């Protein structure tokens, strides 16, 4: 099985945030999946669409011929630049579940869209096989009237009867300013906020940590502090992940970052 991990960031993200994420992923990436940190000027959803073109799957006609197919991953994993694994089982767990046909990742709800409290696997931490992506019609990850970034993947998986595995918030460090009690999921579900630990709610097993809003004042420091703790924690270190060098990253910018 071949899997690739993609993480996008813009120029407003401090370099230390990018570097710290890389170090944590390297520590816990025991299968040494290629880890592609890509600077972009495009919206998040469009960058995800571009990643599929890199993997040989056409999502946006305007990208055809502009983004050469470079990979042939069986599973694609997406990480927000401020999301990291918490142990050496998390990445492999999500990838294996995706390889077995599920849409897998951290749960989220977009509270500004009235869509009957629909919860979805957010691309902050998401894994999906190429086969599943084709089965659901290779949709764009861009926002729609009913969906936030990547939410169409969940809507279409539900419609096709594909298993959707949503890892739940186990704890969060601080409520965001706009939601003093934390962000809502559906009724009866736990809330989430800044510095959320996600995992298996039945066993309490932690999987990933997501800072959220890392572009805002004070949040890069929170993320850097958490990553430093994880890098120094006891646990296996699995060598250097393969990641895009500066030339490859610049080339991707030239191809798809100017729309």
Report domain extents, the chain.
3-168
* Distance, CA of 176 to CA of 121 (rounded, Å): 21
Token readout for 71 is 């990979």
Average pLDDT in the chain: 91
| Segment 117-165, tens digit of pLDDT | 899 999 999 999 999 999 999 999 999 999 999 999 999 999 999 999 9
Continuous segment of H or E residues that includes residue 91: helix 90-99
| Segment 8-44, tens digit of pLDDT | 999 999 999 999 999 999 999 999 999 999 999 999 9
CB distance 191 to 176 below 8 Å: no
| Segment 39-81, tens digit of pLDDT | 999 999 999 999 999 999 999 999 988 888 999 999 999 999 9
Residue 154: C-alpha distances to residues 163, 193, 229 (Å) = 10, 22, 33
Q: Say how many residues make up the chain.
A: 259
Class of domain 3-168 as given by CATH: alpha beta
The residue whose two tokens read 């993947």 is: 153
Average pLDDT over residues 213-221: 96
Strands 75-80 and 194-199 turn out to be unpaired
DSSP codes of every residue in 193-231: -EEEEEE-TTT--EEEEE---TTSTTHHHHHHHHHHHHH
* Distance, CA of 165 to CA of 118 (rounded, Å): 14
């Amino acid at each position: 099985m071949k899997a690739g991990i993609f993480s996008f960031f813009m120029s407003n993200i401090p370099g230390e945030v990018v570097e710290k994420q890389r170090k944590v992923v390297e520590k816990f990436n025991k299968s040494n999946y290629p880890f592609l940190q890509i600077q972009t000027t495009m919206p998040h959803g469009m960058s995800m669409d571009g990643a599929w073109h890199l993997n040989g799957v056409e999502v946006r006609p305007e990208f055809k011929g502009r983004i050469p197919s470079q990979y042939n991953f069986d599973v694609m994993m997406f990480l927000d630049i401020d999301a990291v694994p918490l142990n050496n089982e998390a990445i492999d767990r999500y990838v294996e579940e995706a390889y077995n046909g599920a849409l897998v990742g951290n749960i989220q709800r977009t509270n500004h869209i009235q869509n009957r409290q629909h919860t979805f696997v957010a691309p902050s931490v998401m894994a999906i096989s190429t086969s599943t992506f084709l089965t659901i019609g290779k949709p764009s990850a861009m926002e729609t009237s009913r969906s936030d970034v990547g939410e169409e993947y969940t809507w279409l998986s539900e419609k096709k009867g594909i298993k959707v595995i949503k890892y739940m918030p186990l704890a969060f460090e601080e409520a965001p300013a706009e939601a003093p009690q934390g962000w809502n999921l559906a009724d009866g579900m736990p809330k989430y906020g800044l510095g959320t630990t996600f995992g298996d709610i039945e066993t309490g097993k932690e999987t990933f940590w997501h800072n959220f809003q890392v572009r805002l004042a004070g949040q890069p420091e929170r993320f850097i502090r958490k990553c430093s703790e994880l890098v120094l924690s006891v646990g296996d270190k699995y060598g250097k992940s393969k990641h895009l060098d500066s030339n490859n990253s610049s080339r991707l910018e030239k191809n798809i970052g100017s729309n």
